[in-house]
Structure 1
Amino acid sequence: MGKFPAWLRKTRDSLQGTSRPSTPPNPQAHTNTDIGPSENPPIPPFPDGVKVLHDCPNATVDICFVHGLTGDRESAWTADGQSAPWPKTLLPPKLEKARILTYGYDAYIVRKGVASSNRLIDHATNLLIDLTTDRVCCNAPSRPIIFVVHSLGGLVCKQAVLLSRNNPESHLRGIFDCTIGIIFMGTPHRGAWLADWVKIPASALGLVKSVNKSLLGILQTDSQALELIQVNFCSMIRERQMANQPPEVACFFEELPLVGVGRVVSKESATLEGYNPITIHANHRDMVRFASAEENGFKRVLGELVRWVSQVGKKNKPIASKKILG
């Protein structure tokens, strides 16, 4: 995205609060028995921020994809054997008036080299600011937006929408005002699955060494911060629905276990009360990697997107299958 203007840097600081002292490094987190720290190869830049997968000059809606744990903004959505993510190859022919974006942030809680020390609120703040900046630069700050989010990306998205709501910076309120739908895919709304996350062998994920403890902390089952995000989000959705306003919500859950690990996010944690749970016949990793438009998982996600996009411009008209959170 380039350098942030002064007003964006000021906004970022106001959202994140006063700076805190840096945590002393944990020497054990970077222990390497093969080579010394000075001989470690440099870590390549992480592909973060907004990337346009498909531009559309006369777009009526933005669709933004936010990946989950251990993913990045393109590979997380790319099926094995495919050269490009399906939002770039499969969606444009189906949604001709949609501008399709993907958002990247360093979601590796364990990875070779150094993991990001950003907290959930930091990632959410970055998403809010980067997406706002992109839409302003495209002269489309009021264009309707739909999020498709996977795993941890769902928590980042929920926090970003909540940060946008009633934000003191008027330009940042646009994300909340313009969000018409959120598709959650394997998102741990209740966090129960992460009690066992740290037990997953690093080799099963292809990752080793450094740990982002701040992310692990908020993703624990008893995390009060996670519960607060959930309570505030559900309250916001209920309030909007009672006023017959968006966003719409759809919840997808994984049907198959991850080899050597099991089901990463349970159906109970991946769904919200009052919404029909929708299944994807895949494991947690592959549930967001479609190779063909003929896959049922893709058709189910597309069905939600088409239904919501068709409602753009139809203000105050309820969708028949809308549910109210209990």
Structure 2
Amino acid sequence: MPMIFSEHMEHYDLETIFPCRSDVIPPYERIEVDIVAVHCLNIEAKYFVHKSTWSYSSKLWPRDILPSCYQKRCRVMLFSWNDGLAVTEEDSRFVKHGDRLLRLLMENRLEDPTRPIVFLCHGVGGLIVKEALVKAHLDKTGTIHIIDQCTRMLAFFNTPHHNVAKSVRNIASAAVNPTAPDVLDKLDKACEEHVERMAPMEARGRLYRRRVIINFHGTSLYRGTGMLLVEKEDTMINARPDYWEKYFPVYGDHTSMCRYRSSEDLTGETVLKTIGLNTHLALRMFPTMEIINRPRFRF
């Protein structure tokens, strides 16, 4: 079985799972939004964690169910980042994975770089997305800031926004294969660096402005641990009043909260409708072209 923290060669990918062939999409089903799903740590030791995170049996809901919320006018991509965090000092930093995400997004959006983006983030995946958006926002070269400007919605599944180190340690400690103490220490350091980088952006109100934020929280204890891996209070950003932040409790633990057996699954139906409706709200409230044409913020 693969380790939670990969020691093999680095592998990053942004796999398009819907539509199967973008070159044969009829004009009336043109792609209007990019949906990017980012997984958490591989605590279940899965070989394809970027897919298993969002799968129940053979049902991969971002591919099989979610497009119906957008009348199939969307492109769904899964970001794969090493099945987890590596054991080296450099690879334990979230900012590195955020850099790879930015590069792959730029490469995959050449045909329409201004298309709106929706991120679906599970656990630590949310920290990686935040790292990417901060770097894109602060970009002075004029190359990657378009990613920040085009991001219209962030949907977090059990992503810790407060007490980050404690929550990430809980997640890593719940792995089916015991996590070494020195790896946990590297994670603590990575979390401290992450919080330090995020603080100025959050203080200035830049990270969540002009986009809808949804926080889904798993309400069930994680199997075998007898605890919530991420506390409710830590999943709520409690951002400024002018931010569009919403909170929804979800029946399930840290992993099962992202897995729905069918479109008739009550939890899945609620989550998917919430994502779909709020995407339309975000696109209507914050048109992408209006944001792009505005002067950039200066620090």
Please give the range of the TM-score, normalised by the shorter of the 2 chains. Answer: 0.7 to 0.9
Partner of 2:35: 63
Contact 1:64–1:145, Cα closer than 8 Å, also in 2: yes
Partner of 2:292: none
Distance 1:77 1:211 in 2: 29
* 1:257-287 superposed Cα distances (whole Å, 9 cap, x missing partner): 1111121111111111154421110000111
* 1:92-146 superposed Cα distances (whole Å, 9 cap, x missing partner): 22321111111010252489xx99935211101000111111111xx01110000
> Structure 2 vs 1, CA of residues 215 and 127 (structure 1 numbering), >3 Å: closer, same or farther?
farther
Contact 1:181–1:248, Cα closer than 8 Å, also in 2: yes
Structure 1: state its 5+ residue gaps: 1-29, 31-41, 318-326
Residue 48 (str. 1) matches residue 12 (str. 2): yes
**Structure 2 residue corresponding to 1:251, chosen from 208, 212, 215:** 215
> Structure 2 vs 1, CA of residues 207 and 294 (structure 1 numbering), >3 Å: closer, same or farther?
farther
Distance 2:59 2:10 in 1: 18
Partner of 1:182: 154
**Deviation, structure 1 residue 226:** 3.1
> Aligned ranges for residues 1-326 of structure 1 at < 5 Å?
48-55=12-19, 57=25, 58-70=30-42, 72-79=49-56, 82-95=57-70, 96-109=72-85, 117-136=91-110, 139-190=111-162, 191=164, 192-197=166-171, 199-200=173-174, 202=175, 205-206=176-177, 212=183, 216-218=187-189, 223=192, 225-235=193-203, 237=205, 241=209, 246-261=210-225, 262-274=227-239, 275-311=245-281, 314=284
Distance 2:154 2:286 in 1: 18
* 1:208-261 superposed Cα distances (whole Å, 9 cap, x missing partner): 6797567513455xx2x23224424434656864xxxx2210101111011111
**Deviation, structure 1 residue 314:** 3.3
**Deviation, structure 1 residue 65:** 0.3
Contact 2:219–2:250, Cα closer than 8 Å, also in 1: yes
Partner of 1:5: none
Amino acid in structure 1 at the alignment position of 2:276: V
| Larger-gyration structure (1/2) | 1
* 1:63-114 superposed Cα distances (whole Å, 9 cap, x missing partner): 10000111622111112xx224211111122321111111010252489xx9
Distance 1:213 1:239 in 2: 27
> Structure 2 vs 1, CA of residues 283 and 59 (structure 1 numbering), >3 Å: closer, same or farther?
same
TM-score, normalised to structure 2, is: 0.76
**Larger relative contact order (C-alpha < 8 A, sep ≥ 6)?**
2
Q: Secondary structure at the match of 2:67?
A: coil
Partner of 1:22: none
**Deviation, structure 1 residue 168:** 2.4
Distance 1:209 1:228 in 2: 25
> Structure 2 vs 1, CA of residues 154 and 313 (structure 1 numbering), >3 Å: closer, same or farther?
closer
Distance 1:210 1:216 in 2: 10
Contact 1:164–1:176, Cα closer than 8 Å, also in 2: yes
Amino acid in structure 1 at the alignment position of 2:211: P
Contact 2:93–2:190, Cα closer than 8 Å, also in 1: no
Distance 1:235 1:53 in 2: 37
TM-score, normalised to structure 1, is: 0.70
Q: Secondary structure at the match of 1:157?
A: helix
Structure 2: state its 5+ residue gaps: 240-244, 288-299
Q: Secondary structure at the match of 2:119?
A: strand
Distance 2:160 2:228 in 1: 12
Amino acid in structure 1 at the alignment position of 2:121: V
Amino acid in structure 1 at the alignment position of 2:260: F
Q: Secondary structure at the match of 2:249?
A: strand
* 1:296-319 superposed Cα distances (whole Å, 9 cap, x missing partner): 3323332332223324663558xx
Distance 1:240 1:216 in 2: 25
> Structure 2 vs 1, CA of residues 297 and 115 (structure 1 numbering), >3 Å: closer, same or farther?
farther
Q: Secondary structure at the match of 1:258?
A: coil
Distance 1:314 1:134 in 2: 24
Amino acid in structure 2 at the alignment position of 1:217: D
**Deviation, structure 1 residue 290:** 1.4
Q: What's the RMSD between the two structures over aligned residues?
A: 3.2
